[in-house]
């Protein structure tokens, strides 16, 4: 079990700086979030960073939305992410569940609430692909496609499920999963309990805590991530764990040495939890 750093944790920083901070903090590698930064989609440049900072790209996260130079549709972006992962030597591509529909937000009397819209055509196509040619695409590459559980959205005092197949029993239809711990926290679920139900399918983990806010440092929040890592270590989990954090949890904007100190402390907690085999 190794711990890697998501460049999405500092999406307001340059990619080279993300690599540098990860290396100084002592991570075992990088999860590359493909986003609006051109540097995230240029393999020659990225391979140069890998060599410079000795931080291999172990996972690639397909972009959330359209980015310049890549296809606008979800399937096209996943295919491009797989190609990038193959060049970089990454073993995993992470992507999201399809939306159940599009939403707009309305406001009456100062209260905001979601209004559903008919499912947009690209989302329908993505859903059909996941039920069919997705498995064909997986057979064509050694890169593991890992679909990610998604968070609850809250409005009118209740949790809303914006994504298809986002319940534990439903997402189990997929053979390979990215287990996102903070997203489980938004549903009031304990990650170690969900892992026990899905562990045969969990091939990747996004690790962060939840305190009412998502993507907190692993040691700061309500979730028993120590129990999760000990359980996974006891099962012999040999994949990677990505620390996927929010910039404010990392300390974005503070001096780099303070960011590195925070990340080192989190890594120390995670590695100690890993050794406390359940």
User: Phi and psi dihedrals of 31, rounded to 5?
Assistant: -100, 120
pLDDT of residue 159: 77
Residue 278, SS3 per DSSP: coil
Residue 55, SS3 per DSSP: coil
Lowest mean pLDDT among 15-24, 157-166, 195-204: 157-166
Residue 274, SS3 per DSSP: helix
Lowest mean pLDDT among 7-11, 66-70, 245-249: 66-70
Residues 19-41: b if buried by 16+ CB within 10 A, e if exposed = bbbbbbbebbbbbbbbbebeebb
pTM: 0.92
65 vs 77: CA distance, rounded Å: 9
Each residue's pLDDT tens digit, 51-62: 999 999 999 999
In the chain, domain spans: 2-275
The CATH number of domain 2-275, selected from 3.90.930.12, 3.30.460.80, 3.20.20.150, 3.40.50.720 = 3.20.20.150
Cβ–Cβ contacts within 10 Å for residue 121, how many? 9
Of 251, 245, 209, residue with least CA distance to 227:
209
Cβ–Cβ contacts within 10 Å for residue 267, how many? 18
C-alpha dist (Å) from residue 175 to 56, 80, 134: 25, 21, 11
Identify the DSSP state of 98: P
Q: How confident is the model at residue 249 (pLDDT cuts 50, 70, 90)?
A: very high
Residue that is written with structure tokens 């990392």 in the block: 250
Inter-residue contact 193 to 199 (CB < 8 Å): no
Each residue's pLDDT tens digit, 213-244: 999 999 999 999 999 999 999 999 999 999 99
pLDDT of residue 103: 55
Beta partners for 34?
none
String of DSSP letters for 33-58: E--S-GGGG-HHHHHHHHHHHT--EE
pLDDT of residue 120: 57
Average pLDDT over residues 107-136: 76
Asked whether residue 157 carries a pLDDT value surpassing 80, the answer given is no
pLDDT of residue 111: 65
C-alpha dist (Å) from residue 78 to 133, 134, 240, 253: 13, 10, 20, 31
Cβ–Cβ contacts within 10 Å for residue 6, how many? 25
């Amino acid at each position: 079990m190794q711990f890697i750093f998501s460049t999405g944790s500092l999406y307001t920083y340059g990619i080279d700086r993300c690599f540098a901070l990860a290396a100084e903090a002592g991570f075992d590698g990088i999860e590359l979030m493909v986003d609006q930064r051109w540097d995230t989609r240029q393999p020659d440049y990225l391979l140069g960073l890998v060599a410079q900072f000795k931080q291999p790209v172990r996972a690639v996260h397909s972009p959330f939305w359209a980015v310049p130079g890549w296809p606008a549709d979800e399937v096209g972006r996943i295919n491009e992410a797989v190609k990038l992962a193959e060049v970089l030597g990454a073993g995993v591509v992470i992507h999201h569940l399809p939306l159940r529909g599009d939403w707009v937000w309305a406001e009456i009397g100062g209260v905001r609430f979601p209004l559903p819209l008919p499912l947009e055509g690209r989302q329908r196509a993505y859903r059909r692909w996941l039920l069919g040619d997705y498995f064909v695409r997986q057979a064509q590459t050694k890169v593991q496609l890992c679909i990610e559980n998604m968070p609850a959205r809250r409005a009118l005092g209740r949790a809303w499920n914006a994504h298809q197949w986002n319940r534990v029993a439903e997402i189990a239809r997929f053979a390979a999963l990215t287990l996102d711990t903070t997203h489980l926290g938004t549903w009031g679920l304990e990650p170690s309990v969900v892992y026990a139900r899905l562990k045969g399918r969990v091939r990747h983990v996004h690790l962060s805590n939840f305190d009412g806010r998502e993507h907190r440092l692993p040691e700061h929040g309500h979730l028993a991530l120590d129990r999760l890592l000990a359980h996974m270590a006891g099962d012999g989990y040999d994949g990677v764990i990505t620390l996927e954090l929010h910039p404010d949890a990392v300390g974005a904007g503070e001096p780099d040495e303070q960011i590195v100190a925070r990340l080192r402390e989190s890594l120390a907690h995670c590695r100690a939890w890993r050794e406390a085999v359940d």
